[in-house]
Each structure stands twice: as C-alpha cells, then as structure tokens.
Amino acid sequence: MLECYLTSHEALRDKKGVEAVIDCPISGYSFKSTGDLKWIVREVVKKLGFEGEIVFVSNENIGTTHILYNYHIVFNKEYIGVRIVTRENNVYRILLTIPAKEYLRGLTFKKYKPDKDLVKPMYEHYKSYSPGQYYVPNMIVYAILGFPKEIDLSKWKLEVGGLVEKPLSFRLSELYSIGIRTIRTSFHCVTGWSVREVEFTGPMFQRLIDLIKPRDNVKWVYVESLDGYSTIIPYEEIIDSEALIALEMNRRPLEPEHGYPARLVIPHLYGWKSAKWVYKIDFIEEYRDGYWEALGYHPRGRVDLEERFKKA
C-alpha cells in the first residue's frame, strides 16, 4: 500500500508555484535505467489518481551514494513535478510538487512525524567522519530563492524567541558585544562537496541559549531568512555544539552572497541547515518542515550518519 505525507512551504508556494508537496516513502523497487524509473513513477502516479505524460527533466548526484531524478507529469498546460530519491539503485522516496490545491481532492495523507528519523546514534563519529563526500577548495554559493536586497543595517535585527524565558533581538553590534569566537571547521553540502578548514566568527549558539533561556519543552529550532528560506534543527544538536551565528568568514565580514550580515553555521550538520541572511530564530516544540525538509530532506541532517533524506 502506498502511504504518503502532505507538506508545504511558504517560499515554495510564493516563489516556485508549488502549493503542496506529496511525499511518498517507497521500498522494494530497484532500477537500472531511467526507463525503469519511468515505469515506477507511472505506477505511483496511477495509485494517486494522476494522469499525464511522464517526461524526464534532469538528474543530479547527491553525495556519491544518491541520485535525484526529476520528471514532469504533463497534462494540458500544467505539470506536476516528480522528484525521485534513489540510493544505490534503489528508489526510496517519490515526491510530487503540486501546482494547485484542486489536485489534492479526494486524497488522504499521513502526517509526517520525525521520530523514526531521529534514532539515537550507536556511537558518534561526530566531527571526523563524512561518508559519501568529496573535497573542493572553496565554498560553493547557493541561493535557491535568490539574493535578498541590500540590507539596511540601521533597521536590521536578529529576533530570537518562541518558547523562551527572555525573547531578545540583537542589532549587528550587539551580536558582536555578547562575545564572539572563531571556529575552524569543515563544511559539508548534502550535494556532495565539502571544504576543509573554513573559519567562522560570531557568537556561539550556546551563548544565545544562555541569554534567552529556552523552556524545558523546546525540541526544535526554526530559522527564517530574509529571502524566504527556512530550516529546522533539533534543539539537542545545537546545545554544547560548535554551532554559531557567523558574522565573519575567514576573518572578514560575510560577503553578501555568503549571508551578510549573519548566518548560521552548524558544522556537523549538512550545509542546508546553515541558513544565510538569517533574521529570526524560534525555539519551538512541534516539528515543522523548512524549505528543503519540505522537499524530502532530513529533519536532523547529521553528516557522520549520512542523513541526507528523510528515511521513515
């Protein structure tokens, strides 16, 4: 039986024309070619009641272990996007990006619960292990939602709140004055590239936690950026970790393309968790998808455990 989750994200809706995402975990399908994939897509699509021509669009490697395939289901002048997550010749997720709510009529969905994806590691390789990655000399710039307009520092603030005793907002100079540190670390993008020995400077996340005092029921940290990007991080992963609010990279203020004036850096999680142009950090109890999580990426994203995509 096919059971799927339904999710959505404001930026997917407003900037990409995707009203909702149907996310279907799959098991037991192996494939050798895109021809096989097309057949699998047709089966899944039929079960969901969609009809149309299935057209190959693109593919990309995600680490040295995964390949992500994109298809369209074309009908009239519209299409439903199909993202197929594969690992070592097995299909294990199919996600449909839905352009309008009417396509959801008559379908029922499960609610995604991250618990199954957050199994406690048996032992921790933590910082030293990056399976399925290769090394490049410098950070590759990503801006999936474009670059924000020039930032007026007299207006800019980082708001930190949610389920906390003392919500606070910080101007850039205040972020410097609460105490900064420099870490030297590797940085890993889920698509497979890693960079060694990048330096990031700014207040440690732990310092923010000490100031705002999250309540006992906090489980997640939801981060929002000026470009509409967002992501979510398990609260546990930022306590006592190297996570910081970076204001500088390699001892210089962040370049605009790298997230000026402030970005997160959480070195032991894949790079998509390190949101650039961040302006809001919320401590929350209930899980919700950020931008990439809504497209099937993992709620935690640990590099050492190769948590690229949701597994449950």
Ligand X SMILES: Nc1nc2c(c(=O)[nH]1)N[C@H]1C(S)=C(S)[C@@H](COP(=O)(O)O)O[C@H]1N2
Q: Please give the residue ranges that form the binding site for ligand X (CB under 6 A).
A: 139-145, 189, 225, 227, 229, 258-259, 271-272, 274-277
| Contact stretch for Mo ion (CB under 5 A) within 173-181, 185-193, 282-290, 302-310 | 185-193
When the beta carbons of 85 and 189 are compared against Mo ion, the nearer one is 189
Classify the phi-psi angles of 89: left when phi > 0, otherwise alpha if psi is within -120 to 50, otherwise beta. left
Only segment of 9-17, 80-88, 169-177, 183-191 that touches Mo ion (CB under 5 A): 183-191
268, 303 contact by CB (below 8 A): yes
Of 145, 189, 244, 295, which one interacts with Mo ion (CB under 5 A)? 189
Contact window for Mo ion (CB under 5 A) among 13-21, 26-34, 146-154, 270-278: 270-278
Alpha-carbon distance of 9 to 294, in angstroms, equals: 7
- CB of 94 or CB of 265, closer to ligand X: 265
Side chain identity, residue 308: R
Strands (E), 111-157: 134-135
Told to check if 271 binds Mo ion by CB under 5 A, we report yes
CB of 185 vs ligand X, minimal distance in Å: 13
Distances (CA, A) of 77 to 12, 52, 53, 74, 280: 20, 11, 12, 7, 38
Q: What's the min distance (Å) between Cβ of 200 and Mo ion?
A: 16
The answer to whether the beta carbons of residues 99 and 76 sit under 8 Å apart is no
| Stretch of 111-119, 182-190, 202-210, 284-292 lying at the interface with Mo ion (CB under 5 A) | 182-190
Contact 275, 232 (CB under 8 A): no
Return d(Cα 59, Cα 245) in angstroms, integer.
33
Min CB(190)–ligand X separation in Å: 7
Which distant-in-sequence residues (6+ apart) come within 8 Å of 154 by Cβ?
Answer: none
State the DSSP H helix or E strand holding residue 97, giving kind and residue range, or none if neither.
strand 90-98
Q: Which two tokens stand for residue 253?
A: 């203020």
Q: How far is the CB of 263 from ligand X (least distance, A)?
A: 7
Q: Give whichever of 119 and 136 is closer to Mo ion, judged by the CB atom.
A: 136
- Give the one entry of Mo ion, ligand X, none that residue 301 binds, where binding means its C-beta sits below a cut-off of 5 to 8 angstroms depending on kind: none
CB of 110 vs ligand X, minimal distance in Å: 27
Compare residues 192 and 202 and give the one whose CB is closer to Mo ion.
192
- For ligand X, the closer CB: 130 or 225: 225
Least Cβ distance, residue 79 to ligand X (angstroms) = 24
40 binds, among ligand X, Mo ion, none (CB under 5 to 8 A by kind): none
Contacts of 36 (CB under 8 A, 6+ apart): none
Other beta carbons less than 10 A from residue 115's beta carbon: 10
Angle at 207 between CA 263 and CA 289, to 5 degrees: 50
Q: How many CB atoms lie within 10 A of CB 41?
A: 21
Report the partner that residue 86 touches, choosing among ligand X, Mo ion, none (CB closer than 5 to 8 A by kind).
none
160 contacts Mo ion (rule: CB under 5 A) = no
Nearer to Mo ion, 231 or 241 (CB): 231
Q: Which residues bind Mo ion (CB under 5 A)?
A: 189, 271-272
